[in-house]
Structure 1
Amino acid sequence: MTDHRDHEAHGHGHGHGHFGGSRGWFARVAHAVAAHSPLSAHSHDSADKTDAALETSSRGMRVLAVSFAVLMVTAAVQAVIVLASGSVALLGDTLHNVADALTAVPLAIAFSLGRRAATRRFTYGYGRAEDLAGIVIVLLIAASAALAGYEAVTRLLNPQDLRAVAWVAGAAVVGFAGNEWVARYRIKVGREIGSAALVADGLHARTDGFTSLAVLLGAGGAALGFPLADPIVGLLITFAICFVLRDAAREIYHRLMDAVDPALVDQAERILGGVAGVHRVGSVRLRWIGHALHAEVEILVDHDMSVVDAHAVAVEAEHRLIHELPRLRAATVHTDPHGPAGADHHASLSTHRSR
């Protein structure tokens, strides 16, 4: 029985488990391995993977910086109109936009932590910091829903007239446009780099866009002589925010519980089954760590195959997985002997193993 983890322990690792540090550090290690290993091409592939991982974090940081700037400009424009109109609804929307901009702070911290190298305590690195940031974002969405509902009920009980209705409507349009642009940007990049937290943050921006629409419709109702339009629409928007909250909470919950799309497991099994020398695919386990996938798989090879040959099959299986499975950064491949008939190679572990 050959465990591909031994391959990494003896100095022939390809660096798939190391997703922090600098590119220069990794390049020096990759060059050192290439100098004496027939697997040098695969080592360079690993360097490309690590560079790609660093690039995804850099993209995440760029998204946060751009969206923070857009939302702060949007809030500043709205704040000027608040002073001129005295609109409490627009004030609430402005505060929502400021709060949404500030969600970039925990995400920026998470992306920065995720780039740190693994340690002997945090052996998988710090990628799960994104999931913690996702929890903070879900709580902020919940707080937005509670605040929107509170404001709507308060307005129903104490209707107020609006001044400078046209300006309030214009500010609401600015608020919606700014939030919707940021939402689309965050969600698009978040899905491309596999960041559930960034997707959740995009959904949060969308909820604040809905709140801006409520201000617009409320202003329209006030212009038509129906002051209760604002709080009624506000209640409807509160329900919409709750649906967004449900979707964001579900996505973060799945990440915290190590859930993956079953189609990815099927794809991994097909990739492994197509590797020469693999008789059968055993267990396949995938998990997200930050915005990167990690895999632990078992394959069965001929029982009379030499350790060197079995190791070569494991290396090829790892190579194929990392190249063909989207956003997979590291894989541990464990080889088991296939045959002879009736042999139980895990008899001593039968009471300890679970599948």
Structure 2
Amino acid sequence: MSGVGKDAGSDSGTMMTKTVKLAWGSVAVGLIVLAIKTLAWSMTGSVALLSDALESIVNVATAVAALLAVRWAARPADDDHPFGHHKAEYFSAVLEGVLIVIAAILILREAYAGFLDPQPLGQVWSGLGVNLSASVLNGVWCWVLLRQGRALRSPALVADGHHLLSDVISSVGVTLGVVAAILTGWFWLDPALAAIVAVNILWSGWKVIRSSVGGLMDESVPESDLAVMRELISANADGAVEAHDLRARHAGSATFVEFHLVVPGEMTVDEAHGICDRLELALQEEIHGATVTIHVEPDHKAKHTGIVVL
């Protein structure tokens, strides 16, 4: 017995609409930041600021990838994809992780060239001021993406937020490197800080890829989430004997929950169905986007090791 309530479906559609709007916002912010950082680099000639601009190109590419993914994930289930298209977001997140790694490699290449031939910098303070405005914009949008992405259960938006966070961190490092190079006259500090930032970006890319692959491999939800589900089932299964074999996984903004419900052998189908409806409603109210599948069994199938009904 399974189902998704009408209210849950409506909430899911609203969440997906917000996700698409945020993805469009990421593309717009990415283009603005790229233009600002390119201007800052042209003003100073700094290798570190060039690396910052290179990363922004990847930001735009990943924002576009996230937009395409969330739009695809928003499509309803069909005959070929009866469980929906939610996992499309994980592909985007993996791509973002790969692009983050590529950005780091490009930055290391520019840093190496800077080490070989350090150059004095141009309009440093003006350029840093311009670059700082881009960092502030990125920081604000990063906070929006991480907060809303987690609330909307969107792996693509969360990955994009982490990517922007790495960009903000790298921008801070770049700024410190450029300032130190000017104050000390050690212009090799410019590419040195760019190289350190690149290593940090590599680590960020690996974390994004790791979390996304877990979703593609149907990794179980965290134990804390399973504990909440057990409590809900125990408190709302009055009339049943026990529940066991609880399994749950995330697929983008959706959560699939499955378990076996043991009921007295003499209970009618209508009574068992009523318990299932009550359980589905309780789980869907607590877990947005939940799709619940319940396998009803007679009492001689009890394992006495599952969820005890309160």
Percent identity between the two aligned chains: 26
Match for residue 282 of structure 1? 244
Q: What's the TM-score once normalised by structure 1's chain length?
A: 0.79
- Contact 1:221/1:228 (<8 A) preserved: no
Kindly provide the amino acid, as one letter, of the partner of residue 280 in structure 1: E
Q: CA deviation digits over 1:55-104, x for unaligned, max 9?
A: 11111122222232223222222323333333343233223213202312
Of 270, 293, 304, 1:332 maps to: 293
Kindly provide the amino acid, as one letter, of the partner of residue 228 in structure 1: W
- Contact 2:27/2:64 (<8 A) preserved: no
Q: Would the alpha carbon gap of residues 115 and 341 (structure 1) be closer, same or farther in structure 2, given more than 3 Å must change? A: closer
Match for residue 251 of structure 1? 211
- Contact 2:46/2:190 (<8 A) preserved: no
Deviation at 1:341, TM superposition (A): 9.1
- Contact 1:214/1:230 (<8 A) preserved: no
* Residue-pair matches, total: 300
Q: CA deviation digits over 1:195-247, x for unaligned, max 9?
A: 12211111111222233223312321231211011122122212222332232
Kindly provide the amino acid, as one letter, of the partner of residue 337 in structure 1: P
Q: Would the alpha carbon gap of residues 270 and 235 (structure 1) be closer, same or farther in structure 2, given more than 3 Å must change? A: same
CA distance in 1, matches of 2:137, 2:39: 16
Of 309, 313, 323, 2:285 maps to: 323
Kindly provide the amino acid, as one letter, of the partner of residue 289 in structure 1: A
- Contact 1:156/1:231 (<8 A) preserved: yes
Match for residue 137 of structure 1? 96
Q: Which has the larger radius of gyration?
A: 1
Match for residue 128 of structure 2? 169
- Contact 1:292/1:327 (<8 A) preserved: yes
Match for residue 186 of structure 1? 145
CA distance in 2, matches of 1:341, 1:107: 45
Does 1:101 find its partner at 2:63? Answer: no
Aligned partner of residue 141 in structure 2, secondary structure: helix
Q: CA deviation digits over 1:252-284, x for unaligned, max 9?
A: 122122221111112212211222112111111
Match for residue 49 of structure 1? 8
Instruction: Identify unmatched segments of 5+ residues in structure 1.
Output: 6-13, 17-45, 343-355
CA distance in 2, matches of 1:281, 1:122: 29
Match for residue 119 of structure 2? 160
Q: CA deviation digits over 1:171-200, x for unaligned, max 9?
A: 331232222222211111111111122111
Does 1:302 find its partner at 2:261? Answer: no
CA distance in 1, matches of 2:117, 2:69: 42
- Contact 1:87/1:162 (<8 A) preserved: yes
What is the aligned-residue RMSD (CA, Å)?
2.0
Q: Would the alpha carbon gap of residues 220 and 330 (structure 1) be closer, same or farther in structure 2, given more than 3 Å must change? A: same
Match for residue 85 of structure 1? 44
Kindly provide the amino acid, as one letter, of the partner of residue 98 in structure 1: I
- Contact 1:321/1:328 (<8 A) preserved: no
Would you identify which runs of 4 or more consecutive aligned residues in structure 1 move more than 4 Å?
A: none
Does 1:229 find its partner at 2:162? Answer: no
- Contact 1:172/1:213 (<8 A) preserved: no
CA distance in 1, matches of 2:226, 2:46: 53
Deviation at 1:340, TM superposition (A): 8.4
CA distance in 1, matches of 2:77, 2:114: 52
Match for residue 306 of structure 2? none
Kindly provide the amino acid, as one letter, of the partner of residue 247 in structure 2: R
Structure 1 stretch 293-302 or stretch 72-81: which is displaced more? Answer: 72-81
